[in-house]
């Protein structure tokens, strides 16, 4: 064996897949590897006397912000407990498990038997404070919460953000981060003419005119300033010459953060918070709003590590807890259709806590029944399958029988319902190289392909026969469907489902085929607020000391939120909430 035994290290023969086992004196180092969400996670673990002394992550391509929490907290817990039997990070389960398995494999490779942490003095938890006092207490560390906390501090107030999850960012982190702005510097760079009036009309129309015009006006009027604040103060990098035009928008108006991800925005928020001394208390769940005898909200009762912690707020409390996509009971209460057949594209913390807490002190809610689904999502994780955006370029939808069943460019809700009424309540998205040459989604989302492929949910194949075999689809039906599509592509007329953009010839491979189901994407309803972000009670009166911003609120989007409007909403109203709460008015 290439290493020496010490008194506490028991060497065993290792069959681990891992290479790179060395020793210097009694220090043993070994590598281990496991599959993460976006490729392998490789670690090198250092052992001394049966104890893990250090873990170096040598390779990983996980989501930047999620991974930061895993590679800090889970790693530290493994070292403290001297065991891989530690809790993962909720919301980053895949990455947590990959780290634990990689370390376990390195233990095997080293041939080390880990001793119990207590035998070598595992770390004791420091006593935790039970009371804090700030001018402004913000609940939720998503885009709205960070905007509120930072602006409150800019006003000279002291502020804190409390976050129930071990990781920051909420849905703002896992979104694409695109933000609609009429009159942005990017539109100017690209020579695009737009107006606030047009942005407002698009937003109201997109929500079937059920959105509140005053809220929409406030969002639209403050969008340019909010985007420049993100760029200049928070230092978010946006592409200078690229814009998205989401469905329902008359022009290209969504600015795009670097990497097309909310991780750029949340990562920069976290940096800014650190640099201005805005504390973010994670693993801290707000449970109750505290009021004084006049009914003013003066604090929050929260739970951390099973203990009660009280946050006193001199000036105000901002609720920025996001939506309720992950709360099936709440979804069903307002829309019985949206039961457990639907996953969510959102994170696990989106359970509507802010709505529940505020309702207990008589806050009003609006539009709770308007819940948006996204049709093409990963059947196992609920996440949007971005790679299947090839649908916007001609990819078709088929069911288990190999038949089309809906127009592929229909509204999200129509496609979702169509999929749920197919056998097994799922569908496949199928496209070929001719489509990919234009869409480019396969190259853009290679990590996603690797993940879906490893789960047996997506394949690249050369022929239709292989595609049919991979998913047990009757080949005869599939061939007939493709022959029909090719005929409609040639004539320019989709006789079956009236594809509005015209179909594309699918005669030639290679092909990509991916299984998909709908997920709940965004909850439009929530707390009733005025445009200054005051939370209103059921009589329409301001609840003093209480403010709300972001997906937890219910008046901006009407029946249906347009793509790219979530970020505009959370940044604009998050900032207003911070300023307003700091004033106490």
Residues within the interface to ligand ADP (CB under 6 A): 139-145, 162-165, 170-172, 285-286, 320-322, 349-350, 353, 550-552, 570
d(C-alpha 71, C-alpha 502), whole Å: 47
CB of 351 to ligand ADP, least distance (A): 7
Alpha helices for 409-474 (secondary structure H): 412-420, 433-439, 441-444, 446-454, 464-471
β-partners of residue 459 are 513
The least CB distance from residue 96 to ligand ADP, in Å, is 16
Q: Is 412 a catalytic residue?
A: yes
Nearer to ligand ADP, 321 or 580 (CB): 321
Tokens of 40: 């392998």
Other beta carbons less than 10 A from residue 279's beta carbon: 14
Q: Which residue's CB is nearer to ligand ADP, number 79 or number 148?
A: 148
Residue 311's φ and ψ, nearest 5 degrees, are -110, 110
| C-beta closer to ligand ADP: residue 47 or 342 | 342
CB of 179 to ligand ADP, least distance (A): 12
Minimum CB separation of residue 173 from ligand ADP in Å reads 7
Indicate the residue among 236 and 395 with the shorter CB distance to ligand ADP: 236
Minimum distance, C-beta of residue 570 to ligand ADP, in the bound complex (Å)? 4
Closest residue to ligand ADP using C-beta atoms: 142
d(CA 516, CA 6) in angstroms, rounded, equals 53
- DSSP category for residue 321: -
Least separation in angstroms between residue 150's CB and ligand ADP is 13
Q: Which is nearer to ligand ADP, 395 or 552 (CB)?
A: 552
215 contact partners, CB below 8 Å, separation of at least 6: 529, 531, 555, 556
Q: Which is nearer to ligand ADP, 21 or 572 (CB)?
A: 572
Instruction: Specify burial of residue 261 (Cβ count, 10 A radius: 0-12, 13-18, 19+).
Output: buried
Q: Are 567 and 229 in contact (CB under 8 A)?
A: no
Pairing relationship of beta strands 534-536 and 542-548 according to DSSP bridges? antiparallel
Q: What is the CA angle 222-558-256, rounded to 5?
A: 45
CA dist 512 and 533 (Å) reads 46
Rounded to the nearest whole angstrom, what is the least distance from the CB of residue 567 to ligand ADP in the complex?
Answer: 8
b/e map 67-98, b = 16+ CB within 10 Å? bbbbbebbbebbbebbbbebebbebbebbbbb
Measure the CA–CA gap between 341 and 339, rounded to whole angstroms: 5
Question: Look-up: residue for tokens 């006593």?
Answer: 127
Show the tokens assigned to 362: 């008589």
Whichever of 30 and 161 has its CB closer to ligand ADP, that residue is: 161
Closer to ligand ADP at the Cβ: 140 or 531? 140
CB of 262 to ligand ADP, least distance (A): 8
The CA-atom distances, in angstroms, between 498 and each of 248, 404, 426, 507 are 19, 12, 22, 20
Residue 199 half-sphere exposure toward CB, CA atoms < 13 A: 29
CB of 352 to ligand ADP, least distance (A): 8
Residue of 217, 288, 296, 412 with catalytic role: 412
How many Å apart are CA 568 and CA 174, to the nearest integer? 16
Question: In angstroms, rounded to a whole number, what is the distance separating the alpha carbons of residues 368 and 238?
Answer: 33
Residue with tokens 């002190």: 361
Q: Which is nearer to ligand ADP, 92 or 442 (CB)?
A: 92
Are the C-beta atoms of 146 and 569 separated by less than 8 Å? Answer: no
Q: Which residues are catalytic?
A: 412
């Amino acid at each position: 064996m290439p290493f020496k035994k010490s008194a506490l290290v028991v060497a065993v023969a290792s069959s681990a897949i891992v290479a790179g086992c060395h020793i210097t004196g009694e220090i043993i180092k070994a590598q281990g590897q496991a599959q993460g969400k976006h490729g392998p996670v490789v670690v090198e673990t250092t052992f001394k006397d049966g104890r893990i002394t250090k873990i170096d992550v040598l390779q990983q391509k996980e989501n930047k912000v999620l991974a930061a929490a895993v590679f800090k907290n889970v790693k530290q817990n493994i070292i403290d407990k001297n065991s891989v039997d530690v809790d993962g990070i909720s919301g980053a389960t895949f990455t947590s498990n990959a780290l634990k398995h990689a370390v376990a494999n390195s233990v095997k490779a080293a041939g080390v038997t880990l001793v119990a942490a207590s035998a070598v003095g595992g770390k004791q938890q420091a006593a935790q404070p039970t009371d804090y006092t700030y001018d402004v207490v913000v609940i939720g560390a998503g885009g709205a919460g960070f905007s509120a906390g930072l602006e409150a501090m800019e006003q000279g107030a002291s502020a804190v953000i409390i976050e129930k999850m071990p990781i920051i960012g909420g849905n703002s982190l896992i979104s694409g981060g695109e933000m609609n702005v009429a009159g942005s510097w990017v539109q100017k760079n690209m020579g695009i003419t737009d107006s606030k009036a047009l942005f407002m009309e698009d937003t109201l129309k997109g929500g079937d005119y059920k959105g509140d015009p005053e809220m929409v006006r406030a969002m639209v009027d403050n969008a340019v300033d909010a985007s420049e604040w993100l760029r200049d103060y928070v230092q978010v990098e946006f592409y200078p010459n690229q814009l998205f035009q989401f469905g329902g928008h008359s022009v290209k108006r969504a600015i795009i953060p670097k990497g097309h991800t909310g991780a750029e925005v949340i990562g920069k928020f976290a940096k800014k918070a650190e640099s201005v001394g805005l504390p973010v208390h994670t693993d801290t769940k707000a449970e109750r709003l505290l009021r004084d005898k006049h009914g003013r909200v003066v604090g929050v009762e929260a739970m951390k590590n099973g203990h009660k912690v009280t946050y006193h707020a001199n000036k105000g409390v901002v609720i920025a807890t996001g939506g309720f996509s992950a709360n099936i009971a709440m979804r069903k209460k307002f829309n019985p259709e949206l039961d457990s057949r639907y996953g969510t594209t959102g994170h696990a913390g989106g359970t509507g806590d802010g709505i529940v807490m505020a309702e207990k002190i008589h806050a009003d809610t609006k539009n709770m029944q308007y819940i948006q689904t996204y049709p093409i999502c990963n059947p196992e994780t609920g996440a949007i399958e971005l790679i299947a955006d090839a649908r916007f370029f001609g990819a078709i939808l088929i069911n288990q029988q190999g038949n089309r069943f809906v127009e592929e460019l229909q509204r999200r809700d129509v496609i979702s319902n169509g999929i749920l009424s197919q056998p097994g309540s799922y569908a496949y998205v199928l496209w070929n190289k001719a489509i990919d040459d234009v869409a480019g989604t396969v190259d853009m989302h290679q990590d996603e392909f690797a993940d879906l492929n490893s789960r047996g949910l997506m394949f690249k194949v050369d022929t239709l026969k292989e595609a049919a075999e991979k998913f047990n689809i009757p080949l005869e039906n599939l061939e007939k469907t493709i022959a029909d599509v090719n005929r409609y592509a040639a004539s320019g007329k989709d006789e079956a489902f009236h594809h509005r953009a015209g179909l594309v010839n699918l005669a030639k491979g290679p092909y990509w085929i991916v299984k998909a189901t709908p997920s709940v994407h965004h909850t439009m309803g929530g707390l009733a607020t005025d445009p200054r972000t005051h939370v209103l009670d059921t009589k329409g009166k301001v609840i003093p000391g209480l403010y709300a911003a972001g997906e937890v609120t219910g008046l901006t989007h009407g029946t249906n939120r347009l793509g790219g409007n979530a970020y505009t909403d959370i940044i604009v109203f998050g900032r207003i909430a911070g300023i307003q709460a700091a004033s106490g008015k």
